[in-house]
Chain A
Amino acid sequence: MRFKAELMNAEEMRRALYRIAHEIVEANKGVEGLVLIGIHTRGIPLAERIARYILGFEGKEVPVGTLDITLYRDDLTEIGVRPKVRETRIPFDLTGKAVVLVDDVLYTGRTARAALDALMDLGRPKRIYLAVLVDRGHRELPIRADFVGKNVPTAKSEVVKVKVQEVDGEDRVELWEREGL
């Protein structure tokens, strides 16, 4: 793959997440009944950061859970390499809650669909929002995000890589080009 451009640096990521945190609280009219669910892998640290920002300006803790959607993927029978199943940890009741699903990139919408199916099996939320750091387009399902850090029109041959300090040692969003396509 060939590096093409930096889409966001650490400061731009921080600002985008801070804005999303404000938008979530505004949409929910406060933090009452609000919970955040990070989708493995990079959605988790992003959800934790949003919760930290909310604690900072609202002074209230918002519970954060983690969700692995592997067992809900619609391509498990087609894939070559078996994906590793990771832990889902939601130590609170989802019923009646306003749930914000947090992921790094929104692309085809299939991950979000799988996450919605998984959440429905875990409880009956009052409503579910979707927050993503980057929306790169190319939806294959009628799904849209409620909160978006940055909209980036991309080609299908391109790859958006979100790097986060907690997993990758740095905060940065990069655009890469797949070669040989």
Chain B
Amino acid sequence: MRHLLDFQGWTRAQVESLLDTAKVMREVLERPVKKVPALQGFTVATVFFEPSTRTRISFELAARRMSADVVSFTAATSSLQKGESYKDTLLTLEAMGIDAYVIRADAAGVPHQATRWVKGAVINGGDGRRAHPTQALLDAYTLLEALGTLEGKKVAIVGDILHSRVARSNAELLSLLGAEVWCAGPPSLLPEALPGARLTPSLEEALREADAVMVLRLQKERMETGLVHLDDYIARYQVTERRLGLAKPQAPLLHPGPMNRDVELEGALADSERSLVNRQVQNGVAVRMAVLYHLLVGREGA
């Protein structure tokens, strides 16, 4: 694979190989010196046309842990404000000799387009509602740590499925790894179909016997556009201790962050032992190290 845009064309073996590498990277992050020279001489650019803190920092840390040089571009402080196009921004960076671009954009398809403009590897850091593959990879890695396998496991994803690139990428990836993915949310926040997932407006149906539960952030603008009413959402879809009782005992709880405590998730649950939120953040760096290694070093072999 030259780029990571989504999981189309990826095989289960390729994903498993990448997650195996992430396991080694996790160990690197626990060493006294949390750094290896594998990507010495490479330059990675984080190109964030849309604001993000955790994904950008996670990628930058991952690149630095591998000894790559990192340059950071954020739209708010850039020539985009002066009318420069995405393409010209990327071509300018290309002229500076970048080896890999981590691109986040509010418009779907920008990372795909970028592969036509630049020679380096392109990693989708989240585009519109379409995909957020490294988030899905770190979620899968965290679930594998907790459950051992995803084969035949029921994973419930709860919240605003319609606008969620995280739900879309997770449905694609977790089903590729053998999981049964259920997505639950208010009818106004459910798409007509989602490849790899079963959709239901019934939170109870999704949570029943679930091996793991992933809660998505409810975005304020959905309330402002009238797609959902906050009180109604909390009453019917907030993941609470009582509702989580429908899932298997000790089923882990994931959230991609940032979290609205006591909106989509009962605050106390976020801090409970079942919550893997901090583990997801830690694993994010390891998974992104593995992605950079797989895209920048050599070609796939045995």
Contacts and interface: CB of A to CB of B under 8 A. Distances in A.
Interface of A: 68, 70-73, 76-77, 79-89, 117-118, 120-123
B298 A68 contact: no
B146 interface: no
A89 B32 CA distance: 14
A85 B298 contact: no
B215 to A, nearest CB: 32
A81 B301 contact: yes
Contact of B297 (A76, A117, A121, A122): A76
Interface residues of B, number: 27
Contacts of A122: 31-33
A70 B301 CA distance: 14
Interface in B25-42: 25, 27-28, 31-33, 35-39, 41-42
Nearest to A89: B27
B297 A82 contact: yes
A83 B24 contact: no
A71 B36 contact: yes
Interface of B: 17, 20-21, 23-25, 27-28, 31-33, 35-39, 41-42, 66, 293-294, 297-302
Which secondary structure characterizes the binding site on chain A?
loop
B36 A82 contact: no
Contacts of A121: 31-33, 35-36
24 contacts: A71-B24, A71-B293, A72-B36, A77-B41, A79-B298, A80-B299, A81-B299, A81-B301, A82-B294, A82-B297, A83-B297, A83-B298, A83-B301, A84-B20, A85-B24, A85-B25, A85-B293, A88-B24, A88-B27, A117-B37, A121-B31, A121-B33, A121-B36, A123-B32
A-B residue pairs, 3 tightest by C-beta: A82-B298, A81-B301, A121-B33
Contacts of A71: 24, 28, 36-38, 66, 293
Given A76-B298, A81-B298, A87 B32 contact: no
B146 to A, nearest CB: 19
Nearest to B41: A77
Contacts of A70: 38
Nearest to B99: A77
A89 B26 CA distance: 12
A76 B23 contact: no
B251 to A, nearest CB: 28
Nearest to A78: B298
Contacts of A81: 298-302
| Chain A CB within 10 A, most for which of B35, B294, B297, B300 | B297
Nearest to A87: B24
B278 to A, nearest CB: 23
